[in-house]
Amino acid sequence: MKNILKNGIWVLLSLLLVTACSPQEDDKYSLGTLDTVTADQITFTQTPSNTSPNVITFTNTTAIGGIYSMAWDLGNGGSGKDKTIVGQYPFAGDYTVTLTLNTPDGKSATKSQVIHIAQNDYALISTPAYVNLTGGAADVDGKTWVFDQYNNFTKEVAAAGFSVSGHMGLGPQGSFGQSWWGAGVNAKETWKLYDFKFTFIQAGVKLNIVNKGEGYGRKASAATKGGFNVTTVDGDDALFAYNGGNYNFALDESGKYPKITLTGNAFMGYYCGSQVYEIIYQTDKVMALRVDNTVEGQDWVFIYCLQELNVPAPPVVKEPKAVPLAENFETGTSKINFVMEDMGNKSGIFDNPSPLPINESNKVYRYQKSTAFYSNLNFVAEKYKFDLTKQNKIKVKVYIPSNDYTTDWATAGSWISNAKLRPQLAVKLQDSSLGGNAWQSQTEIVKADLALNTWIELTFDFSNVASRTDYDKIVIQFGAEGHAGPGLFFFDDFSFTE
């Protein structure tokens, strides 16, 4: 029977509060031997909530043995595979709820019931999460969100207790943060990422995505889980044809964080193997979404703002200053805000792999070069430029393990003459105001062919560019750039002094 929705609104809305009554494996039940199942054997109950008759809990009560799997269709766009499932029906009408049981012999049976919702319950879609996301029922055009490409709101999200430093980034699975890498201001300007616009509309729970025909995501899942036709691979990133479109979304507010589930092949600008996004921070102007990348064991966090707020911040006038920097990592945290760019997930502060002279300290920094072409660690002075007339020497102790230094790896292009991982460290000074083009301003010093499996101390002397007043960024890059060769490196006792 067709659903009758007031004002012709088709509601995909399904706030599914999925509760498992007992431990399950692969959504199957084993209660003996079952040759087949028939429709007359299937039963399920429906229990309205105490708070609203429009919120109904459905429970499979089929009294049969054997192994079978189940599939619910709640008639409102919602579905599930668990014994108990909750559906919400904000609008009056008749909905057909269907439960299908499947047996290992390939047979199935279906039982349907029509439920009647007598009255609208607009409170179900008038929550703060819905109103912040869409503008509410009164905003017929919805709200348009874009990436916070200038990082205008990252500090606001960080102040709420999340480890974030950019409008997109990643960290360990379950961390809800970006401790491994956070994108700098306009960091992906060479992509068409910032052309993505996401308009959420409450009436009909609609999502409209507009972009410039290119999609981006993880190489590990773009084709296999997303079904996208990958055209280009760059390190861990995949590029594919994608033209946005009109979709729907469901908002589940039953957990600690509201969850947005998108339909079709929709994704929020960078695909990470899932179409479920947790809203870990939200106001009427800013939101941060977390994606659980189960394929690679990562958390991805994205920050969005209203389209009209995505403007460059007023330029900060930085005066040259001599501000000594030093870090030995002994506390387990770093006073210097090193930012990882395309680094491996084994990077961070760890025990000293070889506590011998000249470095017997307990803690050091482990640097994992990933298969990305331009892995690096960097620091940007937020409020000043480097006064290189007074401060121009960077010292650091390094330990270079016996990585694979013989294999030729894929390169970023024909202009890369070296395809091998190298036992070397490059330190660069750059002007961060140039964003993704900061490399064009750089002065680079490379210490190559370093001794293996021992601690050595290096000095990078930038006194020959002491007249430069534009530098405010330090880039640390092990292993040489432009190739996909992975490797581990260690450093300690970093200092930037006179």
Q: What is the pLDDT of residue 80?
A: 72
Q: What is the pLDDT of residue 20?
A: 33
Q: How many CA atoms lie within 13 A of 252 on its CB side?
A: 20
Mean pLDDT per block of 10 residues along the chain (498 residues) reads 37 36 38 67 92 89 83 78 81 91 87 92 82 91 97 96 94 94 91 96 89 95 94 93 91 85 92 95 98 95 97 88 96 93 94 95 97 95 95 97 97 94 98 89 98 98 97 98 97 95
User: Among 307, 302, 269, 323, which Cα is nearest to 165's?
Assistant: 302
Q: What is the total residue count of the chain? A: 498
Q: What is the pLDDT of residue 74?
A: 85
User: What are the angstrom distances between the C-alpha of 402 and each of 345, 368, 474, 489?
Assistant: 19, 13, 26, 9
Q: What is the pLDDT of residue 11?
A: 38
Alpha helix (H) ranges present in 17-153? Answer: 128-134
**Which letter does DSSP use for residue 343 in this model?**
B
Whose tokens are 């102040």? That residue is 159
Q: What is the pLDDT of residue 25?
A: 35
Q: What is the pLDDT of residue 143?
A: 97
Whole-prediction pTM value? 0.54
Both tokens assigned to 386: 């480097």
Q: What is the pLDDT of residue 435?
A: 82
Other Cβ atoms closer than 10 A to 126: 13
Q: How far from the centroid of its chain's Cα atoms is residue 359's Cα?
A: 37
Whose tokens are 């070069």? That residue is 369
